[in-house]
Structure 1
Amino acid sequence: MSSEALLILQKYWKHDKFRQPQEQIIQNVLEGKDTLALLPTGGGKSICFQVPGMMLNGICLVISPLIALIKDQVENLEKKNIKAIALLGGISQNETSDLLDNCEFGNYKFLYLSPERLQQDWILERIKKLPINLIAIDEAHCVSQWGHDFRPAYLKINVLKQHFNKTPFIALTASATSRVQKDIIENLKLENVSTYTSSFKRENLSYYVVQTEDKLYKIEQILNKNKQSSIIYVRNRRSCIETSENLNKLGFSSTFYHGGLSVKDKNSNMKKWMNNECQAMVATNAFGMGIDKPDVKTVIHIQLPENIENYYQEAGRAGRNEEKAFAILITSPGDIEIAKNQFIEVLPNKAFLKDVYHKLNSFFQIAYGEGYNFNFSFNLNHFCSQYKLPVMKTYNALQFLDRQSIISLSTEFTEKTSIQFILESKEIIRYMSLHKNEEDIITNILRTYTGIFDIETNINTVLIAKKSNVSEKEVVKTLENLEKSGCIIISKLNNDSSITFNEIREDDLTINRVSKYLENQNNLKKNQFKEVIHYIKNEECKTNFILNYFDEKTDEKCGICSYCISLKKTDNTLIQNQIIKLLEKEAPISSREIENQLTFSTKEILSALQVLLESEKIKINNINQYTLI
């Protein structure tokens, strides 16, 4: 096994060797055993199912809740000439059926889908006919209501066990407490499961909490001291752009990334940063999916994170080349109150959730008992403005509906198609008589958008595809033909996001079914934020705090975090003062000469020298002699 797996890793992923414990996990999967893998962010979870998926005959079924992650992994596999398909929401039944035909007869190796898709009986029946060689459940903590992102749809995944009882299952997550691990095993009905964990400790990563009134000045100091690649995380798009502009004014090369950028701008800004054409990437939490830049020296947060899970994941993008790196959280006295308003005060209760759900259906004119698999372009600010709703609280309500699988909310950039017929209706009828294969599509457009001859009108190509019982590609092709023939004009407008309705509209019945989870999730978020406050305020080793948070118990201090450095400064102040006095008289001198003249041990002197260097009180020349700055 080892040689074949290694050859696949080298050929497709260009890595020389596996990380621990990837090889053991892959071996366990190849032996047909159920597996639970807890690997921290950057630990290479996808390798653990993609390599055995390539080795086994048949197709690997991958279940993931994140549309962006599914798209990213499928695109990366296709770039490696590995055949992969994603079943995403908002496509017609015919097109979905065609994709499943491709899986059955087209020699595909990976099929990605959301857990909501498994709740559709006809899709489940089609999947049962496929030669599934492995079932991978990504973000497996979503199966536990004690996990930080519980999704009830995950509870239905275990129906696959009834049919694929001899197929190995692998559940993967970056973070799960012992309680959540137990839920994963029980709720997914994993049998004789082997659990593999990788330590959350990053030996090369120093965690710093820095208090300051002037965050921009502190960033300037950090970037001047560490001139390699960096990421600066902020909370919103405005702060993203402003911080990047301020850094550029200070002479740093900086770009930015947020969810509202076009795909073209995202790729362009990403390319600059990945190619080291600019030092700093200022980003919201939309940045990070599939990012693997090994030489990131610093990850800086200038606002408090929502929870330790997110912070650990984002901070962990520093130092993946195993060289010394820094995760720095910069805080000011008012940050806690600001973050409470951002995270806690905007949590929706049941009444607010009902109100948003009702208005969302009204906004898209969905009748009671309808709406299943309808997909719409969506502008959150426009929706909130129309109904006078608070934006962040509304967004949290929509996110909850997304996690409960009632809707799928994509915050990726989308393009909204706007058209207007510019020929008279009799000419359009003549066109349809000459193009019978496009007649249904055009007829449905005219029936759905009655004023389309008078004004430019936004149209939903997915909805037209559904009504015409064709693929969205066929709708787009028809529009292109109409434009070429001079029948219509087409515009494409930028849009913030899209929404797919995963259930028919049932008003209070829908919300009453899921509201029992709302209080649990709100309490969980409040407790998670309390841990963030503890992280920045408590006088303790920052590495230990993170390890203990993830149930990796340890009392041994890391020695390199901001707290441990502060202890060193306290413990050897006397030694530092004597070194400074010596340097005032005799600099430049080596550490051995310092040791010969002072009565402290080598270890104590080297520790004091390190603190003085880091606090920029002394410097070292190219022949390892020390002088005062």
Structure 2
Amino acid sequence: MQTALAILQKYWKHDQFRSLQNEIIDSVVGGKDTLAILPTGGGKSICFQVPALMQEGICLVISPLVALMKDQVANLQARNIKAIALTGGIRSEEMIDLLDNCQFGNYKFLYLSPERLQSDWILDRIKNLPINLIAIDEAHCVSQWGHDFRPAYLKISDLKKHFQKIPFLALTATATPRVKEDIITETGLQNPSVFQKSFARDNIAYMVIEAEDKLYKIEQILKKNPEPSIIYVRNRRSCIDIANQLKAIGFRATYYHGGLSPKEKETNMSIWMQEEAQVMVATNAFGMGIDKANVKTVMHIQLPDNIENYYQESGRAGRDGEKAFAILLTNPSDNLQAENQFLLNLPDKTFLNSVFIKLCNYFQIAYGEGFNEQFAFNLNHFCLKYNFPTLKTYNAIQFLDRQGIINLSQEFSEKISLQFLIPSKEVIRYNSLHPNDEEIILTILRTYPGIYEMQTAFNLDFIAKKSNHKPNEVQAVLHKLKEKGIVSYNAKNNDASILFNEIREDERTINRVAKYLERQNQLKKDQLHSVLNYVNEKKRCKNQIILSYFGEETKSECGICSYCIGKKKTVPKLQSVTTQLLELLQKESLNSREIQERTQLDSETVIKGLQKLLEEEKIVLKANNNYTIHI
């Protein structure tokens, strides 16, 4: 058996493990159930990939994120490691082929969502595989107090009955003490070894900065720190708007969100990774597989939903160990806006039921039908059709996704449907005249037997793989067949799709999950209050607040956050500030920003000084927002 280090060097070209990785691998190889809590950038995937490669057999990886599964499978395949993922929308016959490949094709990794474990026939097939390790990624999803609870994760403990001698490895980046206990209990870990890296990031300065004009403050920060930066925003429109505004004032910026095509994502990512752009403006879709060591600044310009997400996203700064900044820009209206918008957009049971029924009607799914059917989906069109508020509806659909009732995929994809328009004997004749196309056409006909009778959803990548051709070669044949009138071929680009995991049962479906909705709504309120506490607490180190949230107490202050820096500052006496402002305004009229730039005082000090002078009627504020001496 090769050593863990030899495997790491061979496939990943690293000379040593990161903190705790080796200990976790030793625990797993020793056959022990293990819980690993490693913050973002800690290298969780290595902890199950290396031990799986050290032993005979296949590693079963349970993950809730389709994009993450695809990303990890692609990375393993690029290293010539055989890996496969059972994602949503795969037809039963395709899945049988994929599971056959796992059983007889010497595959090392099988990725699947927890919802797949609810299918008895899939579970029966998995039982017969030579499993050497079961890895549970995003393990916090098993806890009803976790920020992404998914009831399907509760089924994972059933695997223990069938794989009693196989080690389980549960992995997560963030877990409060309550969630940690839930992971151990609910996944059925037996006397697990627990490895938890401190949540402290000593080189990251957590800064909360009040700013009336956020774009101006961003400009100041980026000029002061010209190294690679990420700015997180809440939606796609803000993503594009902020990137364009930054370009307009001279910064090299690009953007990233879930609605971009794979090619656009790759291009924009490459521009930023190669530092042709200083700034990446992104939604939370940007994160997986991002391992750029020299990110200096991560900025959030809107309040995050919870501390868990904020910690993970901020943790993309400073991975080279150099000092870095996690900056949250806020202004007084943010608190009120967040609370109002947040509470108004939490779906209750009645609204959830209405959305689910309309969703089924939208796709013309009859009662008792819909299982494993997949559809392209446009949220704005759906909300417009039924007069639903967009954000509240999105939250309802996300909840249905987490409960496993549907799978919402927000990845760009090309949905293809195909139908042969000529009789089978004519197709045989075409094949004899075009032997280069024959293998692809025969593969299509074998895979989709009903393709003569109706328009059939078509998986281009699967056909390419099955016929031993590249996707573009399959596409070229399809275009040729369409031009000759042999097939009807429709391709539609979409940035979301919905897969139904169970039949339509309307109220019965919603009643089953309603108990979770109430609890999750309360959890989300509590999490928002934790964010507001982090922002508004003026008398405590920001690093201490974050560590305390994750159950890690420390008496020592970090010395570099906005609170600690503020303590060190010598606050100038108000009298000397007002004297300085008067001297400046006697020369010319200026607005508050210009005054701040000239005096190098912070905005709070400038505002206090100006208020004092206005009260004493020594200055006046003109219509153009400039301050001038009172005459």
TM-score interval for Structure 1 and Structure 2 normalised by the shorter chain: 0.7 to 0.9
Question: Is 1:461 paired with 2:458?
Answer: yes
Q: Does 1:5 align with 2:40?
A: no
Query: Is the contact between residue 244 and residue 256 of structure 1 (CA under 8 Å) also seen in structure 2?
Result: yes
Deviations 1:488-513 (A, max 9, x none): 46453321201111111111111100
Change (3 A) 1:172 1:567: same
The 5-angstrom pairing of residues 588-603 of structure 1 reads none
Q: Distance in 2 between matches of 1:217 and 1:11?
A: 48
SS at match of 2:366: coil
Cα separation, partners in 2 of 1:478 and 1:500, compared to 1, 3 Å = farther
Contact in 2 for aligned 1:207/1:560 (Cα 8 Å) = yes
Secondary structure of the corresponding residue to residue 358 of structure 2 = helix
State the distance in 2 between where 1:441 and 1:20 align. 47
| Secondary structure in 2 matching 1:256 | strand
Offset from partner CA, 1:110-167 (integer Å, 9 cap, x none): 1100001111111111111111000000111111111111111111111111111000
Which residue in 2 is equivalent to 1:625?
Answer: none
Q: CA shift at 1:615, angstroms?
A: 8.1
Which whole-Å CA distance do the structure 1 matches of 2:69 and 2:406 have between them?
17
**Residue in 1 that maps onto 2:515:** 516
Contact map agreement 1:441 1:475 (CA 8 A) in 2 = no
Change (3 A) 1:51 1:430: closer
Output the CA distance in 1 between the equivalents of 2:22 and 2:39. Answer: 16
Counterpart contact for 1:428–1:487, Cα < 8 Å: no
- After superposition, the C-alpha distances for 1:73-99 in whole angstroms (9 at most, x for unaligned) are 111111111110001111111111111
Which residue does 2:200 correspond to in 1?
201
Q: What does residue 601 of structure 1 align with?
A: none
Could you tell me which residue of structure 2 aligns to residue 151 of structure 1?
150
Alpha-carbon displacement from aligned partner over 1:32-78 (angstroms, at most 9, x marks no partner): 00001111111111111111011111111000001111111111111
The 3 A distance-change label for structure 1 pair 440 and 475 is farther
Residues 206-263 of structure 1 deviation map (CA, whole Å, 9 limit, x = unaligned): 0000001111111111111111100011111111111111111111111111111111
> 1:401 maps to which residue?
400
Deviations 1:271-310 (A, max 9, x none): 0000011100011111111111001000011111011111
CA distance in 2, matches of 1:497, 1:614: 48
Cα separation, 2, equivalents of 1:95 and 1:429: 23
- SS of 2:287's equivalent in the other structure is coil
User: Is the contact between residue 419 and residue 452 of structure 2 (CA under 8 Å) also seen in structure 1?
Assistant: no
**Map of 2:17 onto structure 1:** 18
Shift in alpha-carbon separation, 1:15–1:614, aligned structure 2, 3 A: farther
Query: How much has 1:341 moved relative to structure 2?
Result: 4.0
Equivalent residue runs for 1:476-555 within 5 Å: 479-480=478-479, 482-483=481-482, 485-488=484-487, 490=489, 492-539=491-538, 540-555=540-555
Q: Secondary structure at the match of 1:245?
A: helix
CA contact (8 A) 1:432 1:439 kept: no
Give, in angstroms, the shift of residue 22 of structure 1. Answer: 1.1
CA distance in 1, matches of 2:55, 2:600: 54
**Aligned equivalents of 2:327, 2:228: Cα separation in 1:** 14
Match of 2:330? 331
Q: Is the 8 A contact 1:377 1:414 kept in 2?
A: no
**In 1, Cα distance between the equivalents of 2:415 and 2:72?**
25
Q: Distance in 2 between matches of 1:260 and 1:346?
A: 22
**Cα distance change on mapping 1:614 and 1:40 into 2, 3 Å:** farther
Residues 439 and 101 of structure 1: CA distance in aligned 2, closer, same or farther (over 3 Å): closer
Partner of 1:561: 561
Matches for 1:106-505 after TM superposition, within 5 Å: 106-417=105-416, 431=426, 434=429, 444=450, 448=454, 460-461=457-458, 479-480=478-479, 482-483=481-482, 485-488=484-487, 490=489, 492-505=491-504
Structure 1 pair 432–364 and aligned structure 2 pair: CA distance change class (3 A): farther
Distance 1:359 1:12, change over 3 A: same
Q: Secondary structure at the match of 1:111?
A: strand
Alpha-carbon distance, 1:431 to partner: 3.7
Q: Which amino acid aligns with 1:461?
A: F
- In structure 2, the CA distance between the partners of 1:289 and 1:5, relative to structure 1 (3 Å rule), is same
CA drift of 1:445 comes to 5.5
Contact 2:253/2:281 (<8 A) preserved: yes
Distance 1:115 1:21 in 2: 27
CA 1:440–1:135: 2 relative to 1, 3 Å:
closer
Three-state SS of the structure 2 residue aligned to 1:334 is helix
- CA displacement, residues 546-600 of structure 1 (integer Å, 9 cap, x when unaligned): 00000011121000000000001149x79xx9xxxxxxxxxxxxxxxxxxxxxxx
Matches of 1:394 and 1:53, distance apart in 2: 41
- 2-side partners of 1:21 and 1:443: how far apart? 52
Distance, in Å, in 1 between the alignment partners of 2:229 and 2:382 is 36
TM-score, normalising length: structure 2: 0.84
Give the SS at the match of 2:375: strand
The whole-number CA distance in structure 2 between the counterparts of 1:439 and 1:81 is: 30
Q: AA paired with 1:233?
A: Y
Aligned AA (1:70): M
State the 1:10 CA deviation.
Answer: 2.0
Cα distance in 1 for partners of 2:204, 2:447 equals 57
Q: CA deviation at 1:418?
A: 6.5
2:80 aligned residue: 81
Asked if 2 retains the 8 angstrom alpha-carbon contact of 1:231 and 1:296, the reply is yes
CA gap 1:439/1:126 in 2 versus in 1, 3 angstroms: closer
Instruction: Quote the Cα distance in structure 2 between the aligned partners of 1:271 and 1:238.
Output: 21
Query: Contact 1:88/1:113 (CA < 8 Å) preserved in 2?
Result: yes
Query: What is the deviation of 1:12?
Result: 1.6
Does the CA contact (< 8 Å) of 1:35 and 1:170 recur in 2? yes
1:113 aligned partner, one-letter code: L
Task: Report the secondary structure of 2:40's partner residue.
Answer: coil
d(CA) in 2 for partners of 1:4 and 1:117? Answer: 33
Instruction: Write the letter of the residue equivalent to 1:92.
Output: R
Aligned partners of 1:126, 1:441: CA distance in 2, in Å?
21
Question: Structure 2 stretches of 5 or more lacking a match?
Answer: 432-440, 577-598, 604-631
Quick one: which amino acid aligns to residue 415 of structure 2? K
- Ranges in structure 1 where 5+ consecutive residues have no aligned partner: 450-458, 578-611, 617-629
Query: TM-score, normalization: structure 1?
Result: 0.84
Is the 8 Å Cα contact of residues 375 and 462 (structure 1) preserved in structure 2? no
2:81 & 2:446 partners in 1: Cα distance?
36
